[in-house]
Amino acid sequence: MDAENLHYFEKAPVAKAVAHFAVPMMLGMSMSVIYSILNAYFLGTLNNTAMLTALALTLPLFAAIMALGNLIGVGSSTFISRLLGEKKYDDVKHVSSFAFYSSIVLGLILMAAGLPLIDSIVHGLGATPDSFGFTKDYVTIMIIGSPFIVLFFTLENIVRSEGAAMTSMIGMILSVVVNIILDALVIFVFHWDVIGVASATVISNMAASAFYTFHIGSKSQFLTVSVKWFKASKDILSNVFKIGVPVFVMSIFLGAMSLIFNRYLVEYGEQAIAAFGISSRLLQFPEVILMGLCEGVVPLIAFSFTANKLRMKHTIGFTFKAVVALAVVFGVIVYLISDNLIGLFTNDPQLIEMGSYILHVTFLSLFITGMTAMFMGIFQATAQGTAAFIMSVIQGITLIPVLYIANRMNGFHGVVWSLVISDAVAFLVGVIMLYVLRTKLQPDLNSLVQ
């Protein structure tokens, strides 16, 4: 951590410090959304529906591998930021080395366990006879490359933990740019279709991991990837996993929720599925902006939690205001031009009407999900493992009964509104836990929840 990063941790005005940590994260995550759209576009140029189906079916697998990276990465990064605030620099080296090597080992275990079960995994993802071969090709490459994917998500987190937000963003953008270039090459030049697209994803993660490793090895003052600093003590394992496990569980729950929600929605026809798919893509961009804001400030909150709790209070307060402001701006835009936005994807009047309705309803929860993400970030940064775990599962636990009841009572409208209701329950639980933990976090936090 150089003097500039230390300045943003300790002395820069709160608004400037939040911008330093959050804006690169917001930009990096936005690039990932653009990449996901372009990835489908390149494969779509082959005019093979089975290939696009395979790409869609493998999303849960990629999410699961990413979740393993965040299991180590988020847990380690918040611990590192707290240790930096306490100026325990040797401990930082131990944790960063642990994160690096444990990520590789976790990826290798996944590869060893997954390769013999490829066919079972492909069936479990729901591959049809037409898409089975393409899905199997994609899954095989992703499983082989899983050590690099897990490592990428781990390193992105720990680099950001020491305040190197710009470096973290550069690594994310490097991954996206390499992926897009390779996608174009494997599709248009080498004609490798699904295998090429999967390989491009793995190689792009390797490139970004190499970039982060170089930064840690040559430019970071406190982080290290040296094996001599590796240590898996009870303290490290406890602090990493009490925050990492809730993040992992949340990722798994989100995937399961998506599958369950789609099963209810399919009852109302293909147009309902298509309309929700379009509105979800449109909602994804403002969601990642808010998520980038909330995740970006976690290292600043974690550092301040051990170094300067009054600064932590001001950081949390400012970020809450920023979440509200961004949610209002995005909401106004959507309500003014929702039909035009849906019209970018389809000319069907009925589909535009249905998609616009879903967009209006789901955008009501944008503010709620932003605040919920902020609660989760606070609990992660301040090592409140139980609260973080409750936040990670509450929405999933709530959605299942709400979906059932809402579907029985109000059909299609009930299914759509169930998302808002489950988000609202998670928000209320977050408010209650923040109030209960206010004195444990710090006395000055009282004013934020009273």
First to last CA, the chain: 36
Does residue 131 form part of some domain? yes
User: 370-423 pLDDT, tens per residue?
Assistant: 888 899 889 988 888 888 888 878 877 888 888 889 988 888 889 889 888 988
Residues 220-224 have a mean pLDDT of 91
Domain match, 277 and 422 both: yes
Residue 285 reports pLDDT greater than 90: no
| 241 within a domain of the structure (yes/no) | no
The pLDDT value recorded for residue 2 is 62
Cβ neighbours for 16, distance < 8 A, ≥ 6 positions apart: 8
173 and 268 belong to one structural domain: no
Claim to verify: residue 277 and residue 137 sit in the same structural domain: no
Closest CA to 298 of 9, 3, 67: 9
Q: Same domain for 266 and 121?
A: no
Among candidate residues 206, 232, 258, the one where a domain is terminated: 232
In a domain, 240, yes or no: no
Task: Determine contact, residues 23/296, Cβ cutoff 8 Å.
Answer: yes
Whether 238 is covered by a domain: the verdict is: no
CB neighbours of residue 241 within 10 Å: 16
Q: What is the pLDDT of residues 123-177, one digit of tens each?
A: 888 787 888 898 899 999 999 999 999 999 999 999 999 888 899 999 999 998 9
Tell me which of 204, 232, 260 is where a domain ends: 232
Q: Mark which of 179, 207, 232 sits at the end of a domain.
A: 232
Say yes or no to pLDDT of 344 above 80: no
Does 244 reside within a domain?
A: no
Q: Calculate Rg over the CA atoms of the chain.
A: 22
Residue 290 and residue 146 in one domain: no
Residues 131, 85: one domain? yes
Q: What is the DSSP string of 8-30?
A: HHHTS-HHHHHHHHHHHHHHHHH
Residues 423 and 279 in one domain: yes
Please give the tally of structural domains in the chain. 2
Measured N-to-C along each axis, helices 349-363 and 385-436 cross at an angle, to the nearest 10 degrees, of: 70
Q: Which of 169, 168, 202 is nearest to 186 (CA)?
A: 202
Alpha carbon separation from 64 to 107, 190, 247, 391 (Å, rounded)? 11, 29, 11, 19
Residue 243 in any domain: the answer is no
Whether residues 271 and 394 share a domain: the answer is yes
User: pLDDT tens digits for 12-54?
Assistant: 999 999 998 998 888 888 877 777 767 777 777 777 777 877 8
- Model confidence at 450, in pLDDT bands (50, 70, 90)? very low
Q: Would the pLDDT of 292 be above 80?
A: yes
Q: Is residue 237 part of a domain?
A: no
- Pair 58, 200 in one domain: yes
298 and 211 within one domain: no
Whether 208 and 308 map to the same domain: the answer is: no
Question: pLDDT digits over 224-280, tens only?
Answer: 999 999 999 999 999 999 888 888 887 777 767 766 776 787 777 767 777 776 777
In a domain, 83, yes or no: yes
Pull the structure tokens for residue 131.
Answer: 């898409």
- Give the CA distances from residue 376 to residues 160, 294, 393, 394, in Å, rounded to whole numbers and listed in that order: 17, 9, 11, 12
Q: Which range of residues forms the domain containing residue 318?
A: 249-450
Same domain, 207 and 269: no
